[in-house]
Amino acid sequence: MGSPVSFDYAPAPESRAVISIKPKYGHFIGGKFVAGSKHFPTINPATEEVLSQIALAGKAEVDAAVKAARKAYTTTWSKMSGKERGKYLFRIARILQERAREFAVLETLDNGKPIRESRDVDIPLAAAHFFYHAGWADKLEFAGLGTSTKPHGVAGQIIPWNFPLLMLAWKIAPALAAGNTVVLKPAESTSLTALLFAEVCQQAELPAGVVNIVTGDGSTGALIVNHPGIDKIAFTGSTEVGKIIARAVAPTHKSVTLELGGKAANIIFEDAAIDEAIEGIVNGIFFNQGHVCCAGSRLILQENIAEEVLEKLKKRMSKIRMGDPMDKNTDLGAINSKEQLLKIRELSASGDAEGAQRWTAPCELPAKGFWFAPTIFTGITQSHRIAREEIFGPVLSVLTFRTPQEGIDKANNTPFGLSAGIWSEKGSRIFWASQQLRAGVIWANTFNKFDPTSPFGGYKESGWGREGGRHGLSAYLKGVGHE
């Protein structure tokens, strides 16, 4: 017997030819692109190539966007029937499908995520979100208990860099379906697909001012949060910023939804189908470089199978292909920014310092760009920083348990409560564990699945409200009986 034959993957790069990036962008206000005053560069995190210059919105631009949104709300959008509003959303969904490849390429260049994910997950789901919510626009009276059919008015929406277009869709689609108009700010490092989406709004002939997009950093976000002309704030991002927003809007009439951090437990019971669980663990923490608020970042293993699982996991992790995000074979792309890479390194170093054992998959890091190889830490206690804090990178913390109740207790020992995973072949155990886990989304024998019909959002410090499904829609309608 000779050694097993192994095949190398030939490069399979996706073409950039479908897109053209302008050297400089402005804001999208009142249906038109308007020039910005100050600019900052946006780069491809896989190569550090400067892709374009993005405008930094200050008070004047945010004021103009809020004014445009208010005007569109008062004169057009709130007067239009739900049936007609819905048609615009259907149009947007269709155009996103038609231009899906452009969006996927642009997203991968600007974000660093593998083209396989932007092409197969981000963009199709974004289109699906618009298609789903389009159908709600003329059915608001059926949106549920405790909601009215009245929108808030102007929604200010601030989204993160991990799923740029998808988060835009999660925000804009329900807002528009419910009859609100929008001022949206994409994340500082990933503005390009939001600006391409502005073109989609133009192609769909969406009335001017219904969607306004201003680009910028945290200072622009603060201007939106504190703007007196905004009725509803929707934010996805860190728990730290979420609390700042919660305090800022506390004395105001603004309604708020927050989709914040997580430290999800992925619990593997002794009766799990191990090979399937390995795939679920890998998907749970290494999908999108671990830049996922609901990532399964704490692996909680029943003690008697821990050795076997870790051995198989390391073998599987050694097969992860990290590198050029534009290559269709790539599994793990670039870390989105230098800042985020430094944060991942700092938290990982705390794992070493606190006595955990690090294991990193053998892989070559490209010379340029921001990279972090898939890593696991064992020998962790619940008080370790890497067991408590959100790393938001491809780093997995491993804990063990003996009895099912101990596993649940460890899983719930966190101020977060966004998601959790359960791996078991026993139905009653899955239902028992899913009831015990204090998290808004439970994936049993699967992980990191998303759908516009499926409510997503967290317990405790993972946020306020849900996105997706009837429950998510209601966040964009006024509550009944609220003061």
Residues forming contacts to other proteins in the complex (CB under 8 A) are: 128, 144-147, 239, 242-243, 246-247, 250-252, 258, 260, 415, 430, 434-435, 439-446, 449, 451, 453-457, 459-461, 463-464, 466, 469-471, 479-483
CB of 78 to other proteins, least distance (A): 23
* Strand ranges for 186-338 from DSSP E: 211-213, 232-236, 255-259, 265-268, 298-302
CA–CA separation, 246 vs 456, rounded Å? 20
Kindly report the length of the chain. Answer: 483
Give the pair of three-digit tokens for residue 415.
Answer: 């101020």
Cα-only R_g, the chain? 22
Q: In Å, what is the CA distance from 290 to each residue of 114, 186, 335, 357?
A: 12, 20, 9, 19
Give the pair of three-digit tokens for residue 153.
Answer: 């008015």
CA–CA separation, 437 vs 441, rounded Å? 9
Collect all residues with Cβ–Cβ distance below 8 Å to 20 and sequence separation of at least 6: none
Catalytic residue among 61, 117, 188, 259: 259
CA–CA separation, 406 vs 119, rounded Å? 40
CA–CA separation, 305 vs 452, rounded Å? 36
Distance separating the N- and C-terminal Cα atoms of the chain:
77
CB of 100 to other proteins, least distance (A): 15
Q: Is 259 part of the annotated catalytic residue set?
A: yes
State the residue for tokens 């998290």: 439
CB of 132 to other proteins, least distance (A): 9
3-state secondary structure of 446: coil
122-149 in b/e form (b: 16+ CB < 10 A) is bbbbbbbbbbbbbebbeebeebeeebee
CA–CA separation, 91 vs 44, rounded Å? 30
- DSSP secondary structure letter of residue 13: B
Q: What are phi and psi of 233, to 5 degrees?
A: -115, 130
3-state secondary structure of 436: helix
CB of 395 to other proteins, least distance (A): 24
Q: In Å, what is the CA distance from 218 to each residue of 187, 425, 461, 464?
A: 9, 45, 21, 20
Q: Is 293 part of the annotated catalytic residue set?
A: yes
Asked if 238 and 260 count as a contact pair (C-beta separation under 8 A), the reply is: yes
CB of 315 to other proteins, least distance (A): 24
Q: Which is nearer to other proteins, 363 or 430 (CB)?
A: 430
Catalytic residue among 61, 117, 293, 390: 293
Alpha-helical runs (H) found in 338-449: 338-353, 385-388, 404-412, 427-436
CA 281 to the chain's CA centroid: 18
Q: Which is nearer to other proteins, 323 or 463 (CB)?
A: 463
CA–CA separation, 324 vs 12, rounded Å? 10
Name the residues annotated as catalytic.
259, 293
